[in-house]
Amino acid sequence: MTPPEIPMPTTNRRLRWLLALPKLGIVLLLAALLSLLWLLHRNEIEEERSALIKDVLWLEQNLRFHLASNEEQLEQLALEMGTLPDAERLFRLRASHMLRNTPEISQILWLTPQAMVVDALPTAHLPDEEIETFGPTAGRRAFDMARRLGKRVYSEPFFLEGNRAFIEVLIPVFQRRQLHGMLVAIYPLDTLLADQVPWWFTAKYKVELVDDNNTQYASKTNITGNGDQSYEIPFDPPGYGLRLRVTSYRTPDNSLQRLLVGAILVLGTGVFWSLWLVRKLMKKHNQAEEALRAEHAFRSAMEDSLTVGMRARNLEGRVIYVNPAFCRMTGFSRDELVDRVPPMPYWAPEHLAATYAMHDAVLAGAAPEDGFEITFVRKNGERFHALVYEAKLIDGNGQHTGWMASVLDITERKRAEELARQQQAQLQFTSRLVTMGEMASTLAHELNQPLAAIASYNTGCLNLINQGDNNLDNIKPALEKLGAQAQRAGKIIRRVHDFVRRSEPKRAPCALADVIDDCMGFIEPDARKQQIRIDTDIPALPDILADRVLLEQVLLNLIRNGMDAMNDTPPGERQLQISALCDGPEIRISVSDQGCGISPEIRDQLFTAFFTTKPAGMGIGLSICRSIIEFHRGRLWAEANHTTTDGHGTIFHFTLPLESS
């Protein structure tokens, strides 16, 4: 029986609140710790960013200072060369002094107003032809601009000497306010960074000179890896889109931060562990009650939602449990059924002996595995059909304590199956009437021949008698032929009567050859009329268990379909073949024609009810044929007839099992 409801005590609500408070505290603690770590990280990033910007500005100012100092010296030299005598000696003296004191300058040139080289230091490392002649390059454009402006000009960066990047600074030399020449100082950019960027700077940062297209002209660093953040500032002079990019790297010495994070993790782990111990102790005494409540709720929901009747009996056959669906099915309440012993109130009195026998078989463990059908009676006296499945009832210790039955009300299903069977029988009978109606005119003509012969022989006998010829030898042959024709007519009438009479399907031993002969008797007149030759190839076969009339219906339907398919076939090629062979445990019968054939798309729908390819067809013939063959435990299918010369035609096969009577 269903256990009683267990009310939830107030201590459970208090326990839930007590468990919720530590959880809330842990959530707040985690939020505070995560916020603290995030703020520390943000503060560290901001400090690194600020230090990076300050260092970049310092480096940029330092580079500007050195370039400006070099510009002043070059401008002073250009002024003295334009005013003092012996300019060549002055150039070599002052240029060699600058090259010794400013290693970032690789070469100093003295050019004519036509951009031809007058002198250059150091002469051992003269630039290539492009610099010497100042052709259409970055140096030439800077030369023209310095000559027009009459003041210092920096060139665009360019690559020479193994893909090294250079820039030039050009200082005009004036004599009596006329352009007398041009001083050119060449800076290798990698040398500029190597000399002017201190070592401590490259221990923290990576310094690069790039342009707007992110082309790198020079770089300097003493560390490897991926940068953390970078800062760029325009590098002007020399300008022309050059930018000074500095990328910072994290310092590996962050032990204090790791110590702080480790302490926080240890603290959080300890708090969680403590909370888990408290939670485990508080919930131990409540787990059994919660499990019982959940099991009760689940069982109640399952019982209320089941539509299948459930009944449990102990090993003695006493009812110990019924669910609401079983009570609704039988009309008896739970109190009326529980603790009852056989006979049960829902057992049908007229089937009491059979029900007792099945009851004893279940208790003995011999219940059918696929269930059994039985008739029960409701409390109001109404009978219903039930499908019962019995299984062992095993308790929590693995002991067999009884039997659990699943009960299904199949009354409506049985009623539907019976109605479908009746409709199928009516449809088969209607199909036979339709088939006979289609052959009525031909059969009438066939029946008219023996009747006309009987009338003719009868008239001949009367004439002999009227003439006074009492010779029995003359009358006896006519009477014998008259009797044969009467038997022929009677056989035709009997065959039609047997075919169209309504009867229940009944399988009985019959000879397949006799069934085919009867079909030929029906169909031969129509075949002669349509100029169709029917050949049969039936070897000696054992008798089969079949309903003779239903089997004739299948053969007649397949033969008439084959004849209809040959309407457009030339008369000389209209041939229909009926064959049979014994194939292991079954007999296979084939009906092949030489008609128009069936396309693969239509072949899949041939046996669908009310599908037809004939203009006046009903679409039920092949569907009925398949149901008849399946009733005989056989198969029916169609395939293309590849034995014909043109590849047209269809073969219908069906099988019948060889069963002993």
Give yes or no for residue 503 having a pLDDT over 80.
Answer: no
- pLDDT value at residue 591: 92
Beta carbons within 8 Å of 634's beta carbon, 6+ residues apart: 586, 654, 655, 656, 657
pLDDT-derived band at 615 (thresholds 50, 70, 90) equals: low
Mean pLDDT of 191-207: 87
Q: Are residues 200 and 75 in the same domain?
A: yes
pLDDT-derived band at 263 (thresholds 50, 70, 90) equals: confident
Q: Are residues 418 and 404 in the same domain?
A: no
Amino acid at 453: A
Last residue of a domain, one of 387, 409, 431: 409
Q: Mean pLDDT score of the chain, rounded to an integer?
A: 78
Which pair of tokens denotes residue 328?
């609704």
Q: Are residues 327 and 348 in the same domain?
A: yes
Q: Which residues pair with 187 in a beta bridge?
A: 167
- pLDDT value at residue 449: 54
User: In degrees to the nearest 10, what's the CA dihedral of 378, 380, 384, 390?
Assistant: 0
**Sign of the torsion angle spanned by Cα atoms 61, 42, 247, 211:** negative
- pLDDT value at residue 184: 92
The residue ranking higher by pLDDT, 491 or 132, is: 491
Cα distance between the two ends of the chain: 53
Mean pLDDT of 23-35: 74
Tell how strand 164-175 and strand 178-188 pair up.
Answer: antiparallel
Q: Are residues 169 and 35 in the same domain?
A: yes
**Sign of the torsion angle spanned by Cα atoms 235, 236, 240, 241:** positive
Residue 532 and residue 111: Cα distance in Å, rounded?
119
Q: Are residues 228 and 125 in the same domain?
A: yes
pLDDT-derived band at 510 (thresholds 50, 70, 90) equals: confident
Q: Are residues 157 and 31 in the same domain?
A: yes
Q: Could you please report the per-residue DSSP string of 473-535? A: HHHHHHHHHHHHHHHHHHHHHHHHHHHHS------EEE-HHHHHHHHHHHHHHHHHHTT-EEE
pLDDT-derived band at 172 (thresholds 50, 70, 90) equals: very high
In a domain, 551, yes or no: yes
User: In degrees to the nearest 10, what's the CA dihedral of 46, 51, 54, 57?
Assistant: -100
The CATH number of the domain where 651 resides is what?
A: 3.30.565.10
**Model-level pTM?**
0.39
In a domain, 21, yes or no: yes
pLDDT in tens, 512-566: 888 888 788 778 877 888 888 988 888 888 888 887 777 887 888 888 888 888 8
398 CA to centre of own chain = 41
Give yes or no for residue 442 having a pLDDT over 80.
Answer: no
Residue 512 and residue 586: Cα distance in Å, rounded?
13
- pLDDT value at residue 352: 86
Q: Are residues 423 and 402 in the same domain?
A: no
Last residue of a domain, one of 459, 475, 504: 504
- pLDDT value at residue 590: 92
Mean pLDDT of 168-179: 88
Last residue of a domain, one of 489, 504, 519: 504
In a domain, 299, yes or no: no
- Kindly state the DSSP code that residue 9 receives in the 8-state scheme: P
Amino acid at 499: F
- pLDDT value at residue 619: 57
Q: Are residues 379 and 417 in the same domain?
A: no
Q: Could you please report the per-residue DSSP string of 314-360? A: ETTS-EEEE-HHHHHHH---HHHHTT--SSPTTB-GGGHHHHHHHHH
**Lowest-confidence region among 129-133, 293-297, 647-651:** 129-133
In a domain, 156, yes or no: yes
The CATH number of the domain where 320 resides is what?
A: 3.30.450.20
Give yes or no for residue 133 having a pLDDT over 50.
Answer: no
Beta carbons within 8 Å of 258's beta carbon, 6+ residues apart: none
Q: Are residues 511 and 640 in the same domain?
A: yes
The residue ranking higher by pLDDT, 119 or 258, is: 119
- pLDDT value at residue 127: 47
Can you give the residue range of the structural domain that contains 485? 413-504
The CATH number of the domain where 144 resides is what?
A: 3.30.450.350
In a domain, 578, yes or no: yes
Give yes or no for residue 259 having a pLDDT over 60.
Answer: yes
In a domain, 276, yes or no: no
Residue 198 and residue 59: Cα distance in Å, rounded?
9
Task: Confirm if 592 and 650 have CB atoms less than 8 A apart.
Answer: yes
- pLDDT value at residue 601: 72
3-state secondary structure of 37: helix
- pLDDT value at residue 645: 63
Residue 560 and residue 576: Cα distance in Å, rounded?
10
Q: Are residues 443 and 577 in the same domain?
A: no
- State the total domains in the chain: 4
In a domain, 267, yes or no: no
Beta carbons within 8 Å of 119's beta carbon, 6+ residues apart: 88, 91, 92, 109, 110
- pLDDT value at residue 129: 42
Q: Are residues 320 and 449 in the same domain?
A: no
Task: Confirm if 199 and 222 have CB atoms less than 8 A apart.
Answer: yes
> Could you give the C-alpha distances from 620 to 58, 327, 647, in angstroms and in order?
100, 45, 28
pLDDT in tens, 483-498: 766 765 666 566 555 5
Give yes or no for residue 64 having a pLDDT over 60.
Answer: yes
Task: Confirm if 643 and 592 have CB atoms less than 8 A apart.
Answer: yes
Task: Confirm if 565 and 650 have CB atoms less than 8 A apart.
Answer: yes
Which pair of tokens denotes residue 225?
């890896």
pLDDT-derived band at 223 (thresholds 50, 70, 90) equals: confident
In a domain, 656, yes or no: yes
Beta carbons within 8 Å of 253's beta carbon, 6+ residues apart: none
pLDDT-derived band at 132 (thresholds 50, 70, 90) equals: very low
The CATH number of the domain where 432 resides is what?
A: 1.10.287
pLDDT in tens, 620-659: 677 778 888 888 888 888 888 877 666 678 899 999 998 7
Q: Are residues 649 and 524 in the same domain?
A: yes
- pLDDT value at residue 171: 92
- pLDDT value at residue 578: 92
pLDDT-derived band at 221 (thresholds 50, 70, 90) equals: confident
Residue 313 and residue 122: Cα distance in Å, rounded?
116
